[in-house]
Amino acid sequence: MKDRKKNSRFKNMGKAMYMELREHRSSFIVYFVLRFLVIVMMVLQLLNRNYENVFLCVLTLVLLVAPSFVQVTFKVELPTTLEIIILVFIFAAEILGEISEFYLMFPFWDTVLHTLNGFLAAAIGFSLVDLLNRSEKMVFNLSPLFTAIVAFCFSMTIGVLWEFFEFGMDQIIGYDMQKDTVIHTIRSVMLDPAGRNVPYVLDGIRETAVNGRELGLGGYLDIGLIDTMEDLIVNFIGAFLFSVIGFFYVKNRGRGRLVGRFVPRRKRADRDFLRIAEEDSAGEEGEDQSPEQQQEESAEDCGGDIQQDSRLIADYK
């Protein structure tokens, strides 16, 4: 009985996610095209025996389903524009950025994605507060200014946590997620000949040698600091931009069409696909079962209820 109920839950979730994916035609087309491209890339990487990139492709396929899973599980509706941007963002970061090496080919690629990440994270933080403000079960009512501040802080927190992740991957596993930058000026108190807390400036650096070997970079190599700060700055810009727009959205009682395309909202009852799938499944099971099986399941449910009531009475005593 438990195995059948467990299989039924997985089946209902799969059916609900399929209905969720097919709900909006434009986002479904984008999802289908991106999924097809990821599968093609995965096959090519598998033929080249690049198993690390194969793992990235599998991870991307899972992430592409994440928006639908969130909508079904938490009963929220992602606007089509937001859902499409999230799907394209995942594809641009994992497949184009990592596997196709767009991060190296186009220096602005990482900057654009981090700016977009700040904007999207602020939209998510804004929607969380907005849903709580509209909830009848919780006494939670923030002014437009505080709603914008919470959205901004949420976005910046996500940006900082991501930089923590990049630093950890570089230090522990040996990756190079915090990309280096070639610079031509150094200011450091450690280079001061007098040993005082005075920055010593080395300007016009054209070459750097390590262990007697020139690196051929045309300057000095900054190890990740500038990349991290640039990521946080553009994350700040994206978060600030959406927070300002969100402020006027709340102040005008949700009349802004632009922000409405990025703010998730609570699902309507007729769009709760998990509930619809469960009801359909219950109806199909009821038709397939014989009267004796239905009577037996009813007796088991009653027995379970009696046992639960007995435990409650015993605990009360």
pLDDT tens for the 317 residues of the chain, in order: 556 666 677 787 778 777 888 888 888 999 999 999 999 999 999 999 998 899 999 999 999 998 888 888 878 888 888 899 999 999 999 899 989 999 888 988 999 999 999 998 998 888 878 777 666 565 556 788 888 898 999 999 999 999 999 899 889 988 888 888 889 998 999 988 888 999 999 899 998 888 888 888 889 988 888 999 999 999 999 999 989 988 888 787 656 667 777 777 777 777 777 788 788 777 766 555 555 555 555 555 445 444 544 443 444 34
Element of type H or E holding 130: helix 108-134
Q: Quick one: pLDDT at residue 285?
A: 61
Q: Quick one: pLDDT at residue 254?
A: 59
Q: Quick one: pLDDT at residue 275?
A: 80
Whether 310 maps to a domain, the answer reads no
Same domain, 10 and 49: yes
Same domain, 52 and 145: no
- For the chain, the residue count is 317
Q: Quick one: pLDDT at residue 154?
A: 92
- Torsion sign, CA atoms 6, 7, 9, 14: positive
Q: Give the Cα separation of 116 and 111 in Å (integer).
A: 9
Q: Quick one: pLDDT at residue 315?
A: 44
Q: How many domains does the chain have?
A: 3
Whether 41 maps to a domain, the answer reads yes
Maximum CA extent, the chain: 95
Residue whose entry in the numeric block shows the structure tokens 């093609």: 40
Whether 68 maps to a domain, the answer reads yes
Q: Quick one: pLDDT at residue 293?
A: 53
Q: Give the Cα separation of 77 and 276 in Å (integer).
A: 15
Whether 316 maps to a domain, the answer reads no
Whether 314 maps to a domain, the answer reads no
Q: Quick one: pLDDT at residue 291?
A: 56
Same domain, 90 and 207: no
Q: Quick one: pLDDT at residue 6?
A: 61
Same domain, 62 and 134: no
Q: Give the Cα separation of 111 and 105 in Å (integer).
A: 13
Same domain, 9 and 125: no
Same domain, 24 and 155: no
Same domain, 46 and 129: no
Nearest 5°: the CA angle 279, 79, 85 is 125
The contacts found for 268-271 with CB under 8 angstroms, 24 or more apart, are: 268/77, 271/23, 271/77
% of the chain with per-residue pLDDT over 90: 33
Same domain, 150 and 161: yes
Cβ atoms 147, 130 nearer than 8 A:
yes
Whether 272 maps to a domain, the answer reads yes
Domain interval for residue 206? 181-222
Q: What SS3 state is found at 141?
A: coil
Radius of gyration of the chain (CA): 27
Same domain, 37 and 129: no
User: Which residues have a Cβ under 8 Å from the Cβ of 18 and sit 6 or more positions away?
Assistant: none
Whether 198 maps to a domain, the answer reads yes
Same domain, 125 and 260: yes
pTM above 0.85, yes or no: no
Residue 77, strand partner residues = 265
Rounded to the nearest 5°, which phi and psi values hold at 182? -85, 120
Whether 308 maps to a domain, the answer reads no
Cβ atoms 87, 37 nearer than 8 A:
no
Same domain, 168 and 252: yes
Q: Quick one: pLDDT at residue 312?
A: 39
Same domain, 215 and 272: no
Element of type H or E holding 167: helix 144-168
Element of type H or E holding 314: helix 291-316
